[in-house]
Structure 1
């Protein structure tokens, strides 16, 4: 029996009502001027494209402009901004005057729109000039004017969408984001972070199973899923009933129940698999065993000419236009037309924007995998030959490199890879540039010396790779390439060239933990090579880098001499980039000397000079240290503004995951936590491929305090487990883990475990580097707080032995806190407000080790956190109120403190703190507006005593017997006795059943 399937949009949308409802709701919000984004995830073939097609048709029917783009599987570097170029292409051809005007006033869009022609030159009329800045020590660089022009691209995309959306709603659909290049990911992140009141909806899809732990898309998801404007829709495989309904819908006519059941089972809920099984058109028992076999067996139904065309398209890695197919296949026009008509008729190919592509990527993968080696080489060679003859445009060299590599034409591939790397850098895509350079290194030895590009050698490629790895968020690879560079130095290499290589290694080592000694050795070798020479660009960069490394090593006097000498050399030879780098170090030294005004003036000058010279990394470093200057003095508002500015620049230049791009993102998030500007939370996983797992862990750790403070126990525990392997590589991750691990344990009543967290991290930090001594003040203060709570809990239970153990732990920790506060080395000359506040909090907590805490000390802690740390101050207010009530102090003041703490906790959705405040207020008979002060009235006939009800209420909240006992200040055994009586009175056999009966009878509300 032959089954005739109805494929694609020709069948009803089955079992996707909820997902479709959420997408339509997002579009309705966008129509109202509430811009948003939806990320649709699911396995390959699960129906993402079908769902987005339905949304696009719905939006179009309501007058919206739908712009669609798709990423391609070009692993070797990718084509920067490809999905956006495809999506925005119709704007350049639209005859609507509003759209035309929006495009016309944004010339930067010419980089993306095909009708804009080749990429416009820089304002100076040139693309590339020799690299004379010395910042990268590479054979070429982009003019600063070109860099600054490129910065306008992101704003141009956002601007044109915003302007068009003011005229009519816009839906931007980006499919297959798992194949997106890094520049496209950065642009998407930029857009989603700036969705405000536009009538704009951005929808992206990606394969869930392809976004593995080491996939570059993970870096974007870490950030985007937390944005309040972003909704995540997970498209799951069909259930059994849904799969059967889908199979029945596929068949355009009667089909036996046996075939429906068999196809539904074999498809495992995957719609595409089910489609292909039905489309195979064979008897049930003869169906192929695997999806690839199903796809290929279906192709056997095509004519030889159609199969030839399909195989040819599979090697393109892109959609293919008719003229290209005619040339590569060698078929005449009539044969090609018939072959294409047949492939389209059988739903193997589809036509998109006048070109042919596979209906589904899985189909392309299966066909390409089935090609014989010789076929692949010939097809790729034919594509490469055609690309060589076509006019150059965006992505031209990346495509040529791809097909040349696949056809083993390494002589042509090498220069194409280098040109593709240049283009990727111009477009702010360092990750793509790194892939191209790495491929060039892989084939370097296989290309005869006479055929290699002039002026390029392996040493330069290694330095390029080190630079691009560092700027795309892979510091470990940057170090590895830097070490390979110095190993590649041969006798007779000029001193200045060798100094550049050693300086590059020193620079990447500077930004890694545990490599300071190696960085000093490397920069000293570079200095030995140029110290006796005249001022030069290289010598200025060596001095600037040496100054930064010596500052990190605490050798401030030597650092200052090197920085001043670097400035003098740089000015003598016109090396503005090196001058800016040295000024950053001088600014940091001024901050450490307690001269913030001088420091800020130098850092602002450094930023200007770095931008003028095109030294974008140096500019980011200047911005980062400028923000540090404000943050260290507790001036959070200006610090956050500066961090935000730096983050935007990093996004626009493709440096989001560079060391300073990451640091500013992490610090900005930390300040949002402290100041009470809390973003929405969502689950996350650490990214890796394309972004170092160490840097990803650093970013993830910045979210951990939010998870704990909002009571997301499962999420917090998951984070803590994921972050532990990264402590040594990034001690800041250990600091956050220790603090949040202790806080989580305290909220759960596990005080001994909280102290264990504190001890473990303090021991790790001090064994790693004593320079982290001051960072242990907060950890120790939390430990003292836990010890006081542990002691109080034990005293209420009458367990004096445990109470003494808690007191001893608290006294040991307060000794450490006092020592760390007195001997720790702050970044500025004196302790900042944050350190002083935590010292005050530790002293307040230790006063409660053996009895009620001193209210005056807690009042001092509240005042100490009044520099902008909203959440931490609210916790201190809660403790202050407890101390006042416990010592029969000012009840009115206690009520004010509880109300103020509750307002903060309720506004931030800090559930554990909110509940703790309410509990204290309930016991003290303090009313909180909007919160029921007493339990709801109980029925007249009530078999439970007050104590039994109190126990059952806490059991209903999920408390264990131990936790119930601690809250009610009774023993665990007594709790068990009360529960036994409750179950007997209610006729229940289990705890859960007793709770259910109590709710049913109105005994609990």
Structure 2
């Protein structure tokens, strides 16, 4: 009897109960507005596609919109965003009004949806990709804005559709995805919040080798809170046996079942192929490749030829393409295809033919003879040349031409493919195309190369694309190669463009400013004596920005003014706007704020006229900085909000300046006391390896700390640490946050240590960060004061003296920072002066009771709108008044004001600290719980401290106390340290005895006697 296997989805799903339950649960949560994603990994053939089909059916049954796309093995540099284009393709023709409107209002989706590009002619001639100076038909921004617009459009269209119905996005075979696909996936998954969106992406675990580009991304994605990973393991023996028995319509001999189970090693597809390849019940091939090919050998020669042709395509193939490349007649081709489909080797998808499983395609392609492979690739290339252009046309032509060794055709195809990839917002794909062109450049006869392209231009383009795709080191390397390749006969303006490109690349990497200055100097030398031109304008504008950054004010001013004059002469509005920003920043540095803001507003207007979006957002950033530095918080917030709105309108929410606008806006909301809810902070998801994301996270960190979410803050601090050098502002935010966390947790030595680590790091970079010592030093002094106080309570004079000396040294550092630091404007601004006042107030308490007058000055200094910091100072001011027995009514008023702010902002640590002082001073605070009991003495203990001490009095160890109160042993120790400090006790037992004597504890009848 010959067995006919039941292949495909007709087989019952075996042994995947837990996996399907988790997938269904994830989708159900997404229905409720908890967006999530699953990364489904497993070996080839283990059943990933089948599991995805099950969850898709489940979601469809729940009324969801299911979008599916898959990656294809077309090698690096192939089709950018292919799975997203396939998945979102149905949206272009959807008749539902909600979907149609969502797509219509996002023109950037036209890069993915082919119907959105209807009627746009595609040139068959190569148009050189180049810098903004070398592209006559398209101005290039400073970064890849098209990619950002596309990413924002994909996220927003899915979010809008999900408001009306849940969305399931399925992406298969990520191990074949190109860099652009990986970038878009990272962007999308890192921004899953409250959308009714569920994403499931699969990949082959064994194909993601150590240096595979997907490996690093996966390591980052699995750290996101909304991401779950499911590893699809091979079937166990029992499940594999049940699966094999389900494959056949008739009974199987036990020895056949045992053999298939053993040989398949739990891989369902291997088991299917082993059983399907049997001519009888004993003929089982030895290896998987042999199994696959042995099964195909049973097909007719024509069917096998068709399979070889399809394997070369690397994607679904139309009937017409097969007829042309295979050379078979219509009747022979029809019979061959029918045979392959009936044997379930091929499947029909959207009118084209593809292998049922990628393993089949790989086995067939790997079995081709070299000459056979070359001829078939050449056949596809010839067909592509004759067919109308479409998305990915040149990338496919380049691929097949390279594989068929037709380098003359491949070179211009690669260049056109790079141009298309740039238009699609895929700089990574464009970079690989240009790199491939560089690899074959010398092998192509000079006469066959595009007339308007040379190797230097390709190196220039490779540098640009490397920079815009997040590879700054490669951008520098290519830019260096471009300038090294400059010959003596090259046009000076073109040479200047390449030196300017090197300068820009160097500016994006920390520690290379001197080299950037040298590079822009070489660029300027080449055009300084030449007539006014667009390249000269941009060199001047870039030179002005770089020289301003290193403090060469006069040279920067001359370059910016000259750039403006030249730009107006030649009509380069974008270059004029860029130079105006530098002029505005220089005026701001000089304290001429009226002039600065007029220049920056003019730059904003001109950049918008020129459609220079990145320059426009940069102008808004600098305008907001001008207001922020002078503590004009309301005006700064208005500018930043305008910039954020503009970024959202243009799809640049996640661009460099789009993020900076949001980060500054969030920082001002923190200062002004307009704190967002936890779910609306706009913090990029944790784990995203982006300096810009770190910048946004750093802006939100103070709110996280002030609300007492210390566990979350600790994770954010660990994630920020690798970004300190690339974005020093994260070091300042992290050092301040770490110091505050330690202070609130009574780890005062750690508080001082953390601020010192951050400040030492910043000083090692540049003296420009000297001003950070004011804020960090003030926080360190607070820790030193608390250390000294605790030491005096336990009569440790040496420790007290050391803490005082440490605090005094920090005060010297703070004063030095304030005197010698270089503020953006001509003088120390209100924020710097306020932190200086706080440092002086903190230091007044080093020797004992703090000076109330100093704290009153600090309260006034933060009156510029820094609501939270002012509340902190009010708390300290009140405590200083009470310690000095001076004006208890004023102290009560200050505590009340501080408590109101802490309550409104949900600033738990500050709220508890204020309540503790109020309880000890018997001050009634609205909204605060009443004391647990009425005593005749001032009670210095908090409820938690009393709970700890009561259990210590019963003879409990720290660990036992922690277990009873559901806190850590370390936290118990912290509470006991505070209790002993407050009661003036040197030991635990002494603290218990003092508490009994003062009536702070009621001695239970069964309390054990404790030795003192």
**Same topology, TM > 0.5:** yes
- Whether the aligned pair in 1 keeps the contact of 2:171 and 2:200 (CA below 8 Å) is yes
Report which stretch shifted further, 136-145 or 151-160.
Answer: 151-160
Q: 2:201 aligns with which of 202, 205, 217?
A: 205
Give yes or no for contact 1:119–1:394 (8 Å, CA) kept in 2: no
Taking structure 1 as reference, are residues 780 and 11 closer, same or farther at Cα in structure 2, changes over 3 Å only?
A: farther
Deviation sequence 1:207-236 (CA, Å, 0-9, x none): 49659898479789979987xxx9323323
Q: Distance between the aligned counterparts of 1:206 and 1:882, measured in 2? A: 59
Q: Give runs of aligned pairs for residues 870-949 of structure 1, distance below 5 A.
A: 872=869, 875-876=872-873, 879=876, 883=880, 889=888, 892-893=892-893, 895-896=895-896, 899-900=899-900, 902-903=902-903, 906=906, 929=927, 934=932, 945=953, 948=956
Question: Matches of 1:42 and 1:669 in 2, distance apart?
Answer: 36
Change (3 A) 1:951 1:186: closer
CA distance in 2, matches of 1:222, 1:948: 44
For 2:701 and 2:295, how far apart are their aligned partners in 1? 50
Matched, 1:252 2:246: yes
More divergent stretch after superposition (579-588 vs 52-61):
52-61
Residues 130-162 of structure 1 show CA distances to partners (whole Å, capped at 9, x for unaligned) of: 99xx963334552699x9999987787678768
Aligned position for 1:434:
431
2:798 is aligned with 1:801: yes
Distance 1:629 1:276, change over 3 A: farther
Are 1:71 and 1:180, in contact at CA under 8 Å, matched by a contact in 2?
yes
Could you tell me which of 232, 250, 256 is aligned with 2:227?
232
- Of 958-967 and 90-99, more deviation after overlay is shown by 90-99
Alignment of 1:161-310 (within 5 A): 171-176=168-173, 201=197, 203-207=199-203, 210=208, 215=213, 231-237=226-232, 245=239, 248=242, 251-252=245-246, 308-310=305-307
Cα distance in 1 for partners of 2:640, 2:272 equals 50
2:620 equivalent in structure 1: 623
Structure 1 residues 399 and 642, CA gap change in structure 2 (3 angstroms) = farther
Whole-angstrom CA distance in 2 between matches of 1:596 and 1:180: 50
- Residue 120 of structure 1 deviates from its aligned partner by 2.1
Provide, for residues 345-376 of structure 1, a one-character-per-residue CA deviation record: whole Å limited to 9, x for no partner: 56654433223344555665566566555554
Q: Whole-Å Cα distance in 2 between the matches of residues 291 and 733 of structure 1?
A: 52
Report how far residue 775 of structure 1 moved: 2.1
The aligned residue for residue 401 of structure 2 is 404
TM-score, length-normalised on structure 2?
0.79
* Higher mean C-alpha displacement, 835-844 vs 772-781: 835-844
Residue of structure 1 aligned with 2:313, choices 295, 311, 316: 316
Q: 1:52 to 1:464 in 2, by over 3 A?
A: same
Checking the alignment, whether the CA contact within 8 Å between 2:244 and 2:260 is kept in structure 1 is no
5+ long unaligned stretches in structure 1:
980-1005
CA contact under 8 A between 2:150 and 2:651: conserved in structure 1?
no
Distance 1:600 1:298, change over 3 A: farther
Deviates more, 1:478-487 or 1:594-603: 594-603
Query: Residues 95 and 445 of structure 1: is their aligned pair in 2 closer, same or farther, counting only changes over 3 Å?
Result: same
Aligned-partner SS, 2:575: helix
The equivalent of 2:936 in structure 1 is: none
Deviation of residue 583 (structure 1)? 0.8
Question: Could you tell me which residue of structure 2 aligns to residue 1003 of structure 1?
Answer: none
Structure 1 residues 129-528: aligned runs within 5 Å? 136-142=132-138, 171-176=168-173, 201=197, 203-207=199-203, 210=208, 215=213, 231-237=226-232, 245=239, 248=242, 251-252=245-246, 308-333=305-330, 336-337=333-334, 340=337, 344=341, 349-359=346-356, 368=365, 373-528=370-525
Deviation of 1:886 after TM superposition, in Å, equals 5.3
Aligned counterpart, 1:529: 526
- The answer to whether the 8 Å contact 1:551/1:589 transfers is yes
CA distance in 2, matches of 1:51, 1:411: 45
> Which has more radius of gyration?
2
Answer yes or no: is 1:16 the counterpart of 2:25. no
Deviations 1:183-223 (A, max 9, x none): 6677778888999998x635352549659898479789979
Q: CA deviation at 1:378?
A: 3.6
Instruction: For residue 41 of structure 1, give the secondary structure of its aligned residue in structure 2.
Output: strand
Distance 2:37 2:864 in 1: 38
Q: TM-score with structure 1 length normalisation? A: 0.80
Q: Conserved in 1, the CA contact under 8 Å of 2:111 and 2:423? A: no
Answer yes or no: is the 8 Å Cα contact 1:219–1:696 preserved in 2. no
1:968 aligned to 2:971?
Answer: no
CA contact (8 A) 1:190 1:651 kept: no
Report the Cα distance in structure 2 between the residues aligned to 1:220 and 1:138, rounded to whole angstroms.
Answer: 38
Q: Structure with the greater relative contact order (CA < 8 A, sep ≥ 6): 1 or 2?
A: 1
Alpha-carbon distance in structure 1 between the residues aligned to 2:212 and 2:861: 43
- What is the alpha-carbon distance in structure 1 between the residues aligned to residue 817 and residue 989 of structure 2? 45
1:739 corresponds to 2:736: yes
- Compute the displacement of 1:464 (Å): 1.6
Flag the 1:296–1:757 CA change in 2: closer, same or farther, 3 A. farther
Question: Shift of residue 127 of structure 1?
Answer: 11
Task: Give yes or no for contact 1:587–1:602 (8 Å, CA) kept in 2.
Answer: yes
Aligned to 1:57: 57
Cα gap change, 1:285/1:255 in structure 2, threshold over 3 Å: closer, same or farther? closer
Q: Match of 2:40?
A: 42
CA contact (8 A) 2:132 2:139 kept: no
Give the Cα–Cα distance (whole angstroms) in 2 for the partners of residues 278 and 978 of structure 1: 78
8 Å Cα contact 2:378-2:404 kept in structure 1: yes
- Map 1:748-787 onto structure 2 (within 5 A): 748-787=745-784
* Separation in 2, partners of 1:839, 1:846: 11
Alpha carbons of 1:879 and 1:207: their partners in 2 closer, same or farther (altered >3 Å)? farther
- In the TM superposition, residue 285 of structure 1 has moved relative to its aligned partner by 13
Is it true that 1:82 corresponds to 2:82 in the alignment?
yes
- 1:957 is matched with 967
CA distance in 1 between counterparts of 2:828 and 2:221 reads 33
Give the match's secondary structure for 1:39: strand
| Corresponding residue number in structure 2 for 1:70 | 70
State which drifts further: 864-873 or 405-414: 864-873
1:685 counterpart residue number: 687
**CA deviations over 1:421-442 (Å, ceiling 9, x no partner):** 2222223333332222222222
Match of residue 1003 from structure 2: none
Aligned-partner Cα distance in 1 for 2:255–2:833: 75
SS at match of 1:512: coil
Whole-Å Cα distance in 1 between the matches of residues 536 and 752 of structure 2?
A: 51
Question: 2:931 and 2:957 mapped to 1: Cα distance?
Answer: 16
Post-superposition CA distance 1:11-64 (Å, at most 9, x none): 3352135423433424533xxxx5x64322132457665454334323433444
SS at match of 1:68: strand
| Residues 256-308 of structure 1 deviation map (CA, whole Å, 9 limit, x = unaligned) | 99999999999999877787788787999999999878777776776665555
* Structure 1 residue 716 displacement after superposition: 5.7
Distance 2:197 2:532 in 1: 55
Q: Contact 2:794–2:986 at 8 Å: present in 1 too?
A: no
Indicate conservation of the 8 Å contact 1:70/1:82, yes or no. Answer: yes
Q: How far is the alpha carbon of 1:484 from its aligned partner? A: 1.6
Cα distance in 2 for residues equivalent to 1:832 and 1:650:
29
Within a 5 Å distance, the mapping from 1:28-39 to structure 2 comes to: 28-29=31-32, 37-39=35-37
Contact 2:264 2:270 survives alignment (8 Å): yes
Give the whole-Å Cα distance in 2 for the aligned partners of 1:460 and 1:90: 39
Partners in 1 of 2:392 and 2:506 — Cα distance? 33
Deviates more, 1:392-401 or 1:434-443: 434-443
Go from structure 1 to structure 2 and tell me whether the alpha carbon gap of 1:824 and 1:56 turns closer, same or farther (over 3 Å shift): same
Deviates more, 1:361-370 or 1:253-262: 253-262
Residues 692-707 of structure 1 mapped to structure 2, 5 A cutoff: none
C-alpha change, 1:396 and 1:130, in structure 2 (3 Å) is closer
CA contact (8 A) 2:31 2:197 kept: no
